[in-house]
């Protein structure tokens, strides 16, 4: 069995360690834990890991967050995967910092990356793991906030929250989404 795990983020040094790149950061930690490096490929960087007899294809799209759907559609077709083998990891303004929520399907909640993925797939029926970044910004400064760096107190707690996200992703691939949701969404 294999899965496509997509972390949303923007390419380039200007976006490293920003709230919007949490998907990239989580996948980066999974690859480091497995001692696997990302390789440049079509529409993104790819790393493959094995976990409990499953193959996880980690994708960091090079299409920028708002156009992530193109990369996802390409890799689903290339790997001959159905949409139930897809998990998208993104930031979420509606959740408090570090809150993690796994869902089987859903709307875009104003997230342009998820909106593009929904449009490209033609539906919203794919798993997503949302990482809360909070909404502590003043009116009109949402873009600066999302593309901004973590606050010092957030940065201190980030490794612990990323570790939980890694566990959720590996659980999704090994025991399925429903059991994983039961284990982690209640916390």
Q: Tell me: the pLDDT tens digits for 132-154?
A: 999 888 787 788 888 999 999 99
Mean pLDDT is lowest, of 37-46, 70-79, 93-102, 109-118, for 109-118
Confidence of residue 112 (pLDDT cuts 50, 70, 90): confident
Strand order in the sheet with 44-51: 39-41, 44-51, 54-61, 2-7, 86-92, 127-132, 100-103
Query: How far is Cα 120 from Cα 48, in angstroms, rounded to an integer?
Result: 24
Which structural domain, as residue segments, surrounds residue 134?
Answer: 2-184
Domain CATH code at residue 75: 3.40.50.1470
Does the structure show a pLDDT above 80 at 117?
A: yes
Residues with active-site annotation = 20
The tally of domains found in the chain comes to 1
Q: Tell me: the pLDDT tens digits for 16-51?
A: 999 999 999 999 999 999 999 999 999 999 999 999
């Amino acid at each position: 069995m294999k899965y496509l795990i997509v972390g949303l983020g923007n390419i380039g040094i200007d976006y490293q360690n920003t709230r919007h790149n949490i998907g990239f950061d989580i996948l980066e930690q999974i690859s480091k834990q497995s001692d696997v490096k990302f390789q440049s490929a079509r529409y993104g960087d790819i790393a493959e890991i094995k976990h409990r007899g499953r193959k996880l294809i980690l994708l960091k799209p090079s299409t920028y967050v708002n156009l992530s759907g193109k990369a996802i559609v390409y890799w689903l077709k290339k790997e001959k995967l159905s949409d139930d083998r897809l998990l998208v990891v993104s930031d979420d303004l509606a959740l408090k910092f570090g809150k993690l929520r796994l869902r089987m399907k859903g709307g875009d909640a104003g997230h342009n990356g998820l909106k593009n993925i929904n449009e490209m797939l033609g539906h919203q029926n794919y798993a997503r793991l949302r990482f809360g970044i909070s909404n502590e910004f003043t009116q009109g400064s949402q873009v600066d906030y999302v593309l901004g760096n973590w606050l010092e107190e957030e940065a201190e707690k980030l490794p612990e929250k990323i570790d939980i996200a890694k566990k959720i992703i590996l659980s999704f691939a090994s025991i399925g989404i429903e059991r994983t949701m039961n284990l982690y969404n209640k916390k």
